[in-house]
């Protein structure tokens, strides 16, 4: 019988942003023998989650750092602890470099940071319950802000965007996973060539899909302005979408705008369409919903508007591909997604099936986003049968080698008789290597598409649904 070894500690007054801590947790969790790793700020929620996992967590507060590691034995635990210190040392070197650049002590407020570094934009990545104060501080300083944090109450989002309109600045988010501003990628950002296309997106992975397809076709982007997945809801009313459209319309480097959203509220969609009609810059819309263009079709419209040819979107087929479903009994279709808009698009195209967005707020409370840590989605893949459709999204801040953990699970699913279809979103310049990721997944038995729409149609065909 194997006895697990636990290490739990609270480091008072130590702070790192949530993205950095997610990456540290992932690095520890992927080590041999480590079964669970939690490295996070000791908020009430994170402490509760750690205690539910069986860790004996001492009293701690939200300004403390919580470390909880479980391994198969003492040796593995000690090795994980050494890796933890290496990760923290790297974070400390980065912070020290920032302090050295200013010659001052580290500033303690968002507004102070912006003043010290003469900032032109603020990125907020803290637990959702603390994001409002930091974002409002940026808005009051007269700076646009990207809120990477999720689980921010919609009432706070409305207040932020109302005040931002009064101050004449843009709020990107909350839950804004992707942006490109002046060539600088923020959040989950692919390596994209520069060009004339500006993107406004109430969707992170939707923006990544469109911009990656544009990159495959030789077209580049000027800016990608994420506005948060709720921006086109009735509650928020498209506040940041309207502001972002106006900003790109005034940008001389932007010759065409692509507007992307998961299914919007009908009345907000109408308001946005009316605003689009008043812009001088042409706009291609991809407001997902029944009877509307999918993301690939919208990208193709954008290419034609630019006078560029539409290429054949890259795809890869395993040596023994699955055959389309036949007969009166269709196979089960399971969509296991990390991107909400990609999930919504696939569900619309497939028409029926069981689709789960593991990047939804309900699945990311107290745990890393599945684009960083695929553990929860891998557990679902191990149980899935029939036809399995999933996305793999590349780029900076995402898993540095998603196929390393995903391919063995794909091979096991194929071995059980399942058909696996992957929508691989990325560019040839992304650090994970688009071709290498595709080949690893194909070798495991998956059929791989760079178009999520094409992947969804293929999966529906394999499941015996004519789409």
- The 10s digit of each residue's pLDDT in 6-20 is 999 999 988 887 778
pLDDT(310) > 60: yes
Predicted confidence at residue 48, as pLDDT, reads: 83
463 touches 349 (CB < 8 A): no
Distance between alpha carbon 238 and the CA centroid of its chain, in Å? 21
Residue with tokens 């390596």: 191
| Count of CA atoms in the C-beta half-sphere (13 A) of 162 | 8
Phi, psi of 3 (to 5 degrees): -110, 125
pLDDT of residue 362: 79
Whole-number Å distance between alpha carbons of 22 and 127: 12
What does the pLDDT average to over 22-37?
A: 85
Distance of CA 241 to the CA centre of its chain: 19
- If you compute the radius of gyration of the chain from its CA atoms, what whole number of angstroms results? 22
User: Do residues 115 and 196 touch, judged by C-beta distance below 8 A?
Assistant: no
Any idea what DSSP says for residue 398? S
Segment among 147-156, 216-225, 308-317 with least mean pLDDT: 147-156
3-state DSSP call for residue 282? coil
**Does residue 420 contact residue 449 with C-beta atoms inside 8 Å?**
no
Lowest mean pLDDT across 266-275, 328-337, 452-461: 328-337
Q: Is 394 helix (H, G, I), strand (E, B) or coil?
A: coil
Mean per-residue pLDDT, 269-274: 96
Q: How many CB atoms lie within 10 A of CB 99?
A: 14
Q: In the prediction, which pLDDT does 97 show?
A: 57
The mean pLDDT value for 55-79 works out to 92
Across 63-74, average pLDDT: 92
pLDDT score of 25 more than 70: yes
Span 186-243, pLDDT tens digits: 999 999 999 999 999 998 999 999 999 999 999 999 999 999 999 999 999 999 999 9
Quote the pLDDT of residue 53.
Answer: 83
Q: Are 42 and 61 in contact (CB under 8 A)?
A: yes
| pLDDT value of residue 85 | 93
pLDDT of residue 1: 45
What SS3 state is found at 207?
helix
**pLDDT of amino acid 104:** 54
Q: Residue 99 — pLDDT band, cuts 50, 70, 90?
A: low
* pLDDT on residue 449: 98
> Exposed, middle or buried: residue 353 (CB in 10 Å: 0-12, 13-18, 19+)?
buried
* 402 CB-near residues (< 8 Å, 6+ apart): 374, 392, 394, 432, 437
Query: Residue 259's pLDDT is what?
Result: 98
Residue 257: is its pLDDT beyond 90? Answer: yes
d(CA 428, CA 206): 18
Average pLDDT, the chain: 90
Q: Is the pLDDT of residue 327 over 50?
A: no
Label the pairing between strands 256-261 and 221-226.
unpaired
In order of their start, the domains of the chain are 5-102 (3.30.70), 107-174 (3.40.50.720), 194-311 (3.40.50.261), 315-462 (3.40.50.261)
Percent of the chain with pLDDT over 70: 94
Determine contact, residues 20/60, Cβ cutoff 8 Å: no
């Amino acid at each position: 019988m194997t006895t697990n070894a636990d290490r739990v500690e609270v480091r008072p007054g130590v702070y790192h942003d949530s993205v950095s801590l997610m990456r540290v947790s992932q690095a520890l969790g992927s080590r041999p023998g480590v079964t669970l790793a939690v490295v996070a700020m000791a908020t009430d929620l994170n402490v509760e989650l750690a205690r539910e996992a069986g860790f004996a967590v001492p009293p701690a507060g939200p300004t403390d750092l919580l470390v909880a590691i479980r391994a198969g034995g003492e040796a593995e635990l000690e090795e994980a602890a050494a890796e933890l210190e290496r990760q923290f040392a790297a974070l400390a070197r980065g912070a020290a470099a920032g302090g050295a650049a200013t010659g001052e002590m580290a500033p303690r407020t968002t507004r102070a940071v912006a003043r010290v570094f003469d900032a032109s934009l603020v990125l907020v990545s803290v637990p959702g319950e603390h994001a409002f104060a930091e974002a409002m501080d940026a808005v009051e300083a007269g700076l646009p802000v990207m809120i990477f944090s999720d689980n921010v109450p919609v009432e706070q989002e409305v207040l932020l965007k109302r005040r931002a309109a009064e101050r004449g600045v843009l709020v990107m988010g909350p839950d804004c996973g992707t942006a490109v501003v002046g060539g600088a990628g923020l959040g989950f950002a692919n390596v994209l060539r520069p060009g004339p296309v500006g993107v406004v997106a109430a969707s992170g992975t939707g923006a990544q899909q469109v911009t990656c397809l544009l990159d495959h076709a030789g077209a580049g982007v000027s800016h990608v302005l994420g506005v948060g997945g709720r921006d086109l809801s009735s509650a928020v009313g498209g506040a940041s979408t309207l502001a972002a459209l106006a900003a790109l319309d005034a940008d001389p480097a932007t010759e065409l705008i692509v507007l992307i959203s998961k299914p919007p509220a009908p009345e907000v969609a109408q308001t946005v369409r009316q605003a689009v009609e008043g812009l001088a810059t042409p706009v291609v819309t991809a407001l997902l919903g029944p009877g509307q263009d999918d993301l690939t079709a919208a990208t193709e419209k954008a290419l034609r508007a630019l006078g560029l040819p539409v290429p054949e979107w890259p795809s890869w087929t395993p040596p023994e591909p699955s055959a389309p479903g036949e007969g009166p009994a269709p196979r089960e279709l399971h969509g296991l997604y990390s991107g909400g808009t990609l999930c919504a698009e696939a569900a619309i195209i497939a028409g029926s099936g069981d689709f789960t967005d593991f990047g939804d707020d309900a699945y990311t409370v107290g745990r890393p986003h599945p684009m960083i840590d695929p553990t929860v989605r891998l557990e679902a893949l191990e149980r899935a049968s029939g036809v399995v459709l999933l996305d793999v999204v590349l780029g900076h801040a995402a898993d540095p080698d998603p196929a390393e953990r995903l391919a063995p699970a794909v091979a096991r699913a194929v071995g059980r008789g399942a058909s696996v279809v992957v929508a691989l979103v990325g560019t040839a310049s992304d650090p994970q290597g688009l071709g290498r990721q595709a080949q690893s997944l194909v070798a495991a038995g998956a059929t791989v598409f760079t178009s999520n729409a094409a992947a969804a149609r293929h999966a529906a065909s394999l499941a015996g649904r004519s789409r």
